[in-house]
C-alpha cells in the first residue's frame, strides 16, 4: 500500500477508537468531512484492503499501445536520433501526423537510451594517450587562428604539423585562412622534406572531412585534401574532440606565446616574411622541446614511382564534355581544341585539375588537353555594340549597372589567398574578373539597383523603347 493509504488507515483507526473526532481526522487527511465519513464506513465494512485505489494494477484507458510506442521509437532512431523530445514531438506531428506529448516522448527516449537529460549527463572523461613509438607514425595537423602579427598586420592562420612521437614541429605555414589550397601547399612541402608519414591526425574541419559523399565514388566522404592523401596512400584520422589531439593543441598555445614575441622582436608583419622565418623557429623549438622516440625507426616512406606529388596535390573535379567539346568550371566555359583525340572524348568524363599555383589542366588519363576559355562573367564592351537609336539608352543603363557591381565567381568554386587567377593572370582581389579573396564579401547589387537615379534612368530607357515600338 502507498504511504497515503497507510496514513488514512492510521487516522481512521483513531476516529473509530474515538481518540479524535471525524472533523479533526478530515483536517489531517485534507479531505471533507463527508468524504472522511464515506472512507470510515468502507473501512469498517471491508477492512483496510478496501482503501486501496480501485485502478491499481489496471491499464489506463488513455494508455498508448506498445505497437505505437515501438513504431515511434523506430522513427526516432531512423530520422531524429539527435533531436530533443520537444523537437521530436513537433516533427512527428508535422511529418507523420502522430500526436504524442513531449513528456511521454521524453520517458520513451530515456528508457530506450536515445535521450539523456542535461542533469543526468556526466562530464566526459578524456584519459591520456601515450605517444606513438616511431617518428613519422602519426603527424597531428591543425590550424590556429590568431593575431600573430599583433597590431602590425592582419589576423591569419598558422598551419601546424607536429610529430606525435617526438613532439617536434615538422612544418609551419602562415596563411590567410584554413583552406584547401594552403593545406595542399603546406602538405606538399612537408612531403618533399620528410616523406610520407603513416597517417595524419586532424580535427573535423571541412578541409579534412565531409558528410556529403557520393555513393558511386570509391572515395566517398573524402574532401579534396582527403582524396589527395588517398592517392598517396596516407591515412587521415579525424579526432572527435580537441582533447584527442592535445599534442598539437598544446603546441598552439606555446606558439601563440613564443612565436608572437619572436615575430615582434624581428619586426615581421607579413605572411611572406613569417613563412621565411618559420623554419628557423621550428629548428630552435625542436632543440628545446623535442623528445627522442621510444623506437628509433623512421616511419616516413619515399614516394613510389607511380605517385605524382604535383598531380595529387591539386583540386580535381569530374566534368562531362559536350558534343561541342566544351565544359563549364567555376562559371567559365572551356573550349577544347578539336584534335582527333579530343573528338573521341565527346560525351565522356574528363578531370579538371586546379593547381594551388593558379594553373589549370584538363586531363584524360595522363594526357593534358589544350583549351581556350570563354569567360561568361565578362562585361559587354560599349564600343563593340553597333550604334542603334533604339538601344542606345538601354545599353547606357546596362553599362552603368555593370560598372556598379563586382563580378564574382561561383560561391562553391575554389578560393586562393595571395595567388593569381589561373584563367586570366589577374592578381587575386582585383576589380576585374579574377577570384575574390577568401573572406571578402562581394558588393551588393541590390544597393545599386535601388538608387533613385538608376531607377529613373531605367524607366526612361524602357519608355523610349516602348515609344519606338
Banded pLDDT at 335 (limits 50, 70, 90): very high
Within a domain: residue 303?
Answer: no
Within a domain: residue 58?
Answer: no
Sign of CA dihedral 211, 212, 214, 218: negative
Range with the poorest average pLDDT among 182-191, 254-263, 277-286, 403-412: 403-412
On whether both 462 and 411 belong to a single domain, the answer is yes
- Where is the domain boundary, 298, 322, 351? 298
HEC secondary structure over the chain:
CCHHHHHHHHHHHHHHCCCCCHHHHHHHHCCCHHHHHHHHHHHHHHCHHHHCCCCCCCCCCCCCCHHHHHHHHHHHHHHCCCCCHHHHHHHHHHHCCCCCCHHHHHHHHHHCCCCCCCCCCCCCCCCCCCCCCEECCCEEEEEEEECCCHHHCCCEEEEEEEECCCCCEEEEEEECCCCHHHHHHHHHHHHHHHCECCEEEECCCCCCCCCCCCCCCCCCCCCHHHHHHHHCCCEEEECCCHHHHHHHHHHHHHHHHHHHHHHHHCCCCCHHHHHHHHHHHHHHHHHHHCCCCCEEEECCECCCCCCCHHHHCCEEEEEECCCCCEEEECCEEEEECCCHHHHCCCCCEEEEEECCCCCEEEEECCEEECEEEEECCCCCCHHHCCCCCCCHHHHHHHHHHHHCCCCCCCCCCCCCCCCECCCCCCECCCCCCCCCCCCCCCCCHHHHHCCHHHHHHHHHHHHHHHHHC
Banded pLDDT at 466 (limits 50, 70, 90): low
Say if residue 209's pLDDT is above 90: no
Residue 146 has a pLDDT of 94
Residue 288 has a pLDDT of 92
Residue 390 has a pLDDT of 53
Residue 444 has a pLDDT of 44
Say if residue 359's pLDDT is above 60: yes
On whether both 95 and 149 belong to a single domain, the answer is no
**Cross-sheet strand order for the sheet of 326-329:** 326-329, 332-336, 371-375
Range with the poorest average pLDDT among 113-117, 218-222, 369-373, 383-387: 383-387
The torsion angle over the Cα atoms of residues 437, 415, 373 and 360, rounded to 10 degrees, is: 130
On whether both 343 and 416 belong to a single domain, the answer is no
Write out the three cell numbers for 95: 511529418
On whether both 146 and 259 belong to a single domain, the answer is yes
Residue whose grid cell is 529613373: 456
Side-chain-side CA neighbours of 304 within 13 Å: the count stands at 7
On whether both 232 and 251 belong to a single domain, the answer is yes
Select from 437, 52, 456 the least CA-distant residue to 271.
Answer: 437
Within a domain: residue 19?
Answer: yes
Banded pLDDT at 450 (limits 50, 70, 90): low
The pLDDT tens digits for 298-322 are 999 999 888 999 999 999 999 999 9
Range with the poorest average pLDDT among 115-129, 190-204, 409-423: 409-423
Range with the poorest average pLDDT among 100-114, 175-189, 203-217: 203-217
Within a domain: residue 403?
Answer: yes
Q: Which of 17-21, 281-285, 377-381 reaches the highest mean pLDDT?
A: 281-285
On whether both 186 and 217 belong to a single domain, the answer is yes
Say if residue 226's pLDDT is above 50: yes
Within a domain: residue 121?
Answer: no
On whether both 164 and 208 belong to a single domain, the answer is yes
**Residue 451 to residue 443: CA distance in whole angstroms:** 14
On whether both 164 and 269 belong to a single domain, the answer is yes
The domain in which residue 464 lies consists of: 382-468
The pLDDT tens digits for 410-436 are 555 665 655 445 554 444 444 333 333
- Where is the domain boundary, 333, 353, 375? 375
The pLDDT tens digits for 165-194 are 999 999 999 999 999 999 999 999 999 999
Residue 217 has a pLDDT of 47
Say if residue 62's pLDDT is above 90: no
Banded pLDDT at 393 (limits 50, 70, 90): low
Share of the chain above pLDDT 90, in %: 49
Q: Cβ-count burial of 387 within 10 angstroms (0-12 exposed, 13-18 middle, 19+ buried)?
A: exposed
The pLDDT tens digits for 263-273 are 999 999 999 99
Report residue 256 CA to chain centroid gap. 25
Q: Cβ-count burial of 28 within 10 angstroms (0-12 exposed, 13-18 middle, 19+ buried)?
A: middle
On whether both 242 and 313 belong to a single domain, the answer is no
Within a domain: residue 440?
Answer: yes
On whether both 167 and 84 belong to a single domain, the answer is no
Residue 428 has a pLDDT of 44
Q: Cβ-count burial of 65 within 10 angstroms (0-12 exposed, 13-18 middle, 19+ buried)?
A: exposed
* Residue 411 vs residue 289, higher pLDDT: 289
Banded pLDDT at 402 (limits 50, 70, 90): low
Q: Which residues contact 218 (CB under 8 A, 6 or more apart)?
A: none
Within a domain: residue 410?
Answer: yes
Distances (CA, A) of 355 to 180, 224, 249, 365: 11, 12, 30, 17
We report the CATH number of the domain holding residue 197 as: 3.30.420.10
The count of domains in the chain is: 5
* Residue 1 vs residue 377, higher pLDDT: 1
On whether both 147 and 279 belong to a single domain, the answer is yes
For the residues 9-19, what does the mean pLDDT come to?
88
Say if residue 94's pLDDT is above 70: yes
Within a domain: residue 117?
Answer: no
Range with the poorest average pLDDT among 151-165, 310-324, 454-468: 454-468
On whether both 173 and 293 belong to a single domain, the answer is yes
Amino acid at each position: 500500500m502507498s504511504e497515503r493509504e497507510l496514513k488514512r488507515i492510521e487516522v481512521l483507526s483513531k476516529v473509530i477508537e474515538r481518540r479524535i473526532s471525524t472533523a479533526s481526522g478530515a483536517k489531517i487527511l485534507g479531505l471533507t468531512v463527508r468524504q472522511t465519513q464515506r472512507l470510515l464506513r468502507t473501512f469498517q465494512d471491508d477492512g483496510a484492503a478496501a482503501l486501496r485505489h480501485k485502478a491499481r494494477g489496471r491499464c489506463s484507458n488513455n494508455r498508448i499501445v506498445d505497437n505505437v510506442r515501438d513504431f515511434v521509437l523506430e522513427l526516432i532512431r531512423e530520422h531524429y536520433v539527435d533531436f530533443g523530445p520537444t523537437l521530436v514531438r513537433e516533427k512527428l506531428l508535422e511529418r507523420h501526423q502522430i500526436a504524442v506529448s513531449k513528456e511521454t516522448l521524453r520517458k520513451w527516449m530515456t528508457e530506450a537510451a536515445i535521450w539523456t537529460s542535461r542533469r543526468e549527463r556526466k562530464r566526459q572523461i578524456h584519459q591520456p594517450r601515450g605517444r606513438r613509438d616511431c617518428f613519422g607514425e602519426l603527424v597531428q595537423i591543425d590550424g590556429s587562428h590568431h593575431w600573430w602579427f599583433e597590431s602590425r598586420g592582419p589576423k591569419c592562420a598558422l598551419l601546424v604539423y607536429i610529430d606525435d612521437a617526438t613532439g617536434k614541429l615538422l612544418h609551419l605555414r602562415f596563411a590567410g585562412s584554413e583552406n584547401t589550397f594552403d593545406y595542399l601547399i603546406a602538405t606538399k612541402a612537408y612531403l618533399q622534406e620528410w616523406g610520407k608519414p603513416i597517417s595524419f591526425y586532424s580535427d573535423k574541419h571541412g578541409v579534412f572531412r565531409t558528410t556529403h559523399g557520393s555513393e558511386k565514388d570509391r572515395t566517398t566522404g573524402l574532401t579534396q585534401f582527403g582524396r589527395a592523401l588517398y592517392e598517396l596512400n596516407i591515412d587521415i584520422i579525424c579526432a572527435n574532440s580537441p582533447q584527442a589531439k592535445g599534442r598539437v593543441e598544446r603546441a598552439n598555445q606555446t606558439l601563440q606565446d613564443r612565436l608572437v614575441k619572436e615575430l615582434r622582436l624581428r619586426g615581421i608583419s607579413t605572411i611572406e616574411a613569417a613563412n621565411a622565418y618559420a623554419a628557423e623557429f621550428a629548428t630552435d623549438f625542436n632543440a628545446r622541446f623535442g623528445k627522442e622516440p621510444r623506437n628509433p625507426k623512421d616511419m616516413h616512406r619515399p614516394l613510389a614511382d607511380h605517385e605524382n606529388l604535383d598531380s595529387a596535390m591539386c583540386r580535381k573535379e569530374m566534368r562531362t564534355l559536350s558534343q561541342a567539346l566544351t565544359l563549364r568550371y567555376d562559371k567559365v566555359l572551356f573550349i577544347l581544341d578539336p584534335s582527333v583525340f579530343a573528338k573521341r572524348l565527346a560525351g565522356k568524363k574528363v578531370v579538371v585539375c586546379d593547381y594551388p599555383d593558379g594553373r589549370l589542366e584538363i586531363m584524360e588519363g595522363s594526357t593534358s588537353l589544350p583549351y581556350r576559355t570563354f569567360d561568361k562573367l565578362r562585361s559587354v564592351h560599349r564600343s563593340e555594340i553597333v550604334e542603334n537609336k533604339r538601344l542606345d539608352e538601354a545599353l547606357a543603363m546596362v553599362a552603368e549597372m555593370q560598372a556598379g557591381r563586382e563580378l564574382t565567381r561561383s560561391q562553391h568554386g575554389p578560393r586562393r589567398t595571395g595567388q593569381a587567377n589561373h584563367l586570366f593572370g589577374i592578381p587575386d582581389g582585383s576589380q576585374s574578373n579574377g577570384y575574390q579573396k577568401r573572406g571578402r564579401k562581394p558588393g551588393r547589387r541590390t544597393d545599386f539597383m535601388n538608387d533613385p537615379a538608376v531607377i529613373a534612368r531605367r524607366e526612361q530607357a524602357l519608355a523610349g523603347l516602348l515609344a519606338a515600338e
